[in-house]
Amino acid sequence: MKLLFEALFKYIIGLIFVGLLLFLPAQTFQFWNAWLLIALLFIPMFILGIVLFLKNKNLLKKRLKNKEKQKTQKLVILISLIIFVAGFIIASLDFKFGWSNIPFGLVVFASIVLVASYILFAIVLKQNTYLSRTIEVSENQKVIDTGLYGVIRHPMYLAMCLLYLSFPLVLGSWFAFILFLAFPFVLAIRIKNEEEFLKQNLDGYIEYMDKVKYKMIPFIW
């Protein structure tokens, strides 16, 4: 019950937080892109949370954990939060003042990408039950080198990148999209730091890096 209440509390706080970021600067609830994003973001999140609670409570507990210990990772989280908050506020102001004119078809495409990124994230969670929001190595943890992890080393970060880059387009803002373009570079810093940690603390990770060459984008990086 404690885990359930913690998950629900963070879910509701997140929903309120995003709602304030989107509707307060716009000064209207008629920001339809915001309603679309909230639906696409929080409905799958709720479903995924229920599945994890029923199927793998330990993994849900790991996903709720957000107290990072490493300085580099704390900085990455801070920068990511700034991008998220600033980007949503800019998108809200963009709607209010009509700065951008994103085609409806692109909004639909971005919505599909957002849902696809959630599906990818769910697949990653199924294939790697060691996943935590913080950089750590669990007791008896083993290197996962099958499924998506046999193609790229960080499929979860690919899902996150697609998710973040879809946000401003669903919200209909080119200006917010420009800001969110910084997120992949922030992820690159996190990946570099994480891999240094895993090389030192997870048996077999160096051999895994030799086996799977690409970090996040197949055949590119």
- Between 202 and 32, where is the model more confident? 32
| Res 73 pLDDT > 90 | no
In a domain, 219, yes or no: no
CATH number at residue 48: 1.20.120.1630
User: Up-side HSE of residue 111: CA atoms within 13 Å toward CB?
Assistant: 17
Mean pLDDT across 97-109: 95
Residues 6 or more apart in contact with residue 19 via CB below 8 angstroms: 34, 38
Mean pLDDT across 75-93: 94
| Res 66 pLDDT > 70 | no
CA distance 218 to 186: 19
**What is the band of 175 on the pLDDT scale with cuts at 50, 70, 90?**
very high
In a domain, 17, yes or no: yes
pLDDT at 183: 93
What pTM does this model have? 0.88
- Residues 39-61 have pLDDT tens digits of 999 999 898 888 888 887 777 77
In a domain, 221, yes or no: no
In a domain, 217, yes or no: no
User: Rounded mean pLDDT of the chain?
Assistant: 89
**What is the band of 142 on the pLDDT scale with cuts at 50, 70, 90?**
confident
In a domain, 185, yes or no: yes
In a domain, 36, yes or no: yes
Containing structural domain, residue 29: 2-211
In a domain, 112, yes or no: yes
| Res 65 pLDDT > 70 | no
pLDDT at 56: 76
pLDDT at 169: 97
Mean pLDDT across 67-92: 88
pLDDT at 68: 67
Q: How many CB atoms lie within 10 A of CB 176?
A: 25
In a domain, 216, yes or no: no
Tokens of 146: 């099958």
Mean pLDDT across 125-154: 82
The domain tally of the chain equals 1
- Residues 105-125 have pLDDT tens digits of 999 999 999 999 999 988 988
pLDDT at 133: 65
